[in-house]
Amino acid sequence: MDAWIIYSKSTIEKKIKSGEIEKTKKYAKDNFNIDVDVISSHDFFISCEKGFNKIYYKGKEIKVLPKIVIFRKYDIYLARQLELMGVKVMNSTQAMIDARNKMKTYQVLANKGISTPKTLYIVSGIKKKCFYYDQVCKFFNNNKFILKYTYGSQGKYVHLITCEKEFNEAIKKYEGICIFQEYIESSFGKDIRCYVIGGKFIGAAIRQSAGDDFRSNLARGGHALKFDYNDKVAKLAVDASNAFNLDICGVDILFKGNDEYTVCEVNALPGFKSLRATTGKRGSIVLLELIKDTLKEL
């Protein structure tokens, strides 16, 4: 077996029903002569004892592992076990851990000199210390700013704070596990979703929000529009992805006006809907091409 692509149990069930798994396997064999299996993360056991790290799938120990494993539903322990056993895991466990945490993301981006909105984290924890409101407004020189749950996704846990009541409510909701960020008003309701695969820029789309939502996530009703990207945007996306050594990366970029851009987030498990809608490229083919290219380098 050359590679596994691992999804969540519910996604695998949908893919079995739609016949997509067989199609992907056949496409891989017919077009690239590679053997790929598409499986659920749910059926694994992993064990460790002195000198032995083992992996079991559906109750049976796996003696011969694939060369590459792509995760589309992350499990840190399974990924780490595979890496320890010599498998090339994409994205790597470390890259995944770094990109999953929003504060870590902004720390890495800023440290590499990549443009990102000014971000603030309150070290002592802010569970009951809502009196920080004035200081946060002062830091941004604005009483409008963004508050994000540190581990959020799909726009669900991102808020535009405009008063102390909203600030207190959001902090209570996330028990202080959140960051504050400069509000990039010029990007209201839209951003650029870029795809960087194997370190290469492969496409981008504008995501436009539904109604008057400042967040442009498709999961919140936004839609994807064609985008004539320029080199500046492509370079920013590639730099952001490379800062984390991500193999599969969706970079969200905000418009700062005057042809200036800033990185809103790096996604290590990007959905491919925007890419498909604007360029016709299918996520499954993008992943198979990545496997084919990576096999050559191993």
Beta-sheet pairing, 68-71 with 88-90? parallel
Question: Of 96-104, 180-188, 227-235, 264-272, which segment contacts Mg ion by CB under 5 A?
Answer: 264-272
- Number of residues in contact with ligand ADP under rule CB under 6 A: 22
Please identify, using beta-carbon distances, which residue of 21 and 158 lies nearer to ligand ADP: 158
Q: Return d(Cα 46, Cα 20) in angstroms, integer.
A: 28
Task: Quote the least distance from Cβ 237 to ligand ADP, whole Å.
Answer: 14
Q: Give the full edge-to-edge strand order of the sheet including 145-149.
A: 119-120, 178-181, 145-149, 158-161
Q: From the list 69, 87, 114, 117, which residue makes contact with ligand ADP (rule: CB under 6 A)?
A: 117
Query: Is residue 252 part of the contact set for Mg ion (CB under 5 A)?
Result: yes
Question: Of 76-84, 106-114, 150-158, 275-283, which segment contacts ligand ADP by CB under 6 A?
Answer: 150-158
- The CA-atom distances, in angstroms, between 151 and each of 104, 112, 237 are 10, 22, 21
Q: From the list 12, 255, 265, 286, which residue makes contact with Mg ion (rule: CB under 5 A)?
A: 265
Q: Which one-letter DSSP state was computed for residue 117?
A: -
Amino acid at 192: I
- The CA-atom distances, in angstroms, between 230 and each of 192, 204, 233 are 12, 10, 6
Query: Is residue 201 part of the contact set for ligand ADP (CB under 6 A)?
Result: no
Torsions phi, psi for 244 (to 5 deg): -110, 0
Query: Is residue 182 part of the contact set for Mg ion (CB under 5 A)?
Result: no
Query: Is residue 191 part of the contact set for Mg ion (CB under 5 A)?
Result: no
Here's the x/- map for ligand ADP, 57-86, by CB under 6 A: it reads as ------------------------------
Q: From the list 152, 176, 271, 283, which residue makes contact with ligand ADP (rule: CB under 6 A)?
A: 152
Is residue 297 helix, strand or coil? Answer: helix
Query: Is residue 174 part of the contact set for ligand ADP (CB under 6 A)?
Result: no
Query: Which of 231, 268, 290, 227 is closest to 92 using CA atoms?
Result: 268
Please identify, using beta-carbon distances, which residue of 75 and 252 lies nearer to Mg ion: 252
Question: Of 80-88, 151-159, 167-175, 268-276, which segment contacts ligand ADP by CB under 6 A?
Answer: 151-159
Specify whether the CB–CB gap between 155 and 189 falls below 8 A.
no
Q: Quote the distance between the C-alpha of residue 65 and its chain's center.
A: 26
Asked if the bond preceding 242 is cis, omega within 30° of 0, the reply is no
Q: Which one-letter DSSP state was computed for residue 132?
A: G
Among ligand ADP, Mg ion, none, what binds residue 105 when CB lies within 5 to 8 Å by partner kind? none
Residues that bind ligand ADP (CB under 6 A): 117, 146, 148, 152-155, 158, 181-184, 187, 191, 214-217, 252, 254, 264-265
